[in-house]
Amino acid sequence: MTLTRSLLMTALLASSLSAFAAVTEQVQVLDGYVREVPPTQQISAAFMTLHNDDMSDHKIISATSPAAKTVELHTHTLDEGMMKMRQVPDIAIPAGGDTFLKPGGLHIMLIGLTQELKKDVPISVTIKFEDDSEKTLSLPVKSVMPMQMKH
């Protein structure tokens, strides 16, 4: 019976480890980029499409990048007729679905840039999921028109 129990525990552990690594394998990052900004600007943002192949919901709980002192998850909301940006605790990715990080919506904010963002030069951004697994992305810098916002 001890051998059977040992084999069962080994199988359960292997299956748990497989499930632990599955979030990074199940979430695909598509069309990611970082917005190019003038060298004097200290803030930029990363945008992408997140596709979840899993049958369970997942979420990004944080992000980091050597290109910025601080990295935060953000969204834009319409408040009394004005678009306002605010930090969010996580970004949900529905089971079998997509989440779009785009200008005017959810995005990853890069604050206190530590390097110049040059068009077509990739920036490393690491996203962390709810199970503490991480996926490091190499995102190209793209020149895009800034969003028009009322302040």
Going from N- to C-terminal start, the domains of the chain cover 2-142
First and final C-alpha spacing in the chain:
70
| pLDDT tens digits in sequence order for the chain, 151 residues long | 565 666 555 555 544 444 444 588 889 999 999 999 998 999 999 999 999 998 999 999 999 999 999 999 999 887 888 888 899 999 999 999 999 999 999 999 999 999 999 998 999 999 999 999 999 999 999 997 655 444 3
User: Global pTM?
Assistant: 0.80
**DSSP notation for the chain:** -HHHHHHHHHHHHHHHHHHHHHHHHHEEEEEEEEE---TT--EEEEEEEEEE-SSS-EEEEEEE-TTEEEEEEEEEEEETTEEEEEE-S-EEE-TT-EEEE-TTSBEEEEEEESS---TT--EEEEEEETTS-EEEEEE-EE--PPPP---
Q: Please give the CATH number for the structural domain made up of 2-142.
A: 2.60.40.1890
CA distance 69 to 89: 18
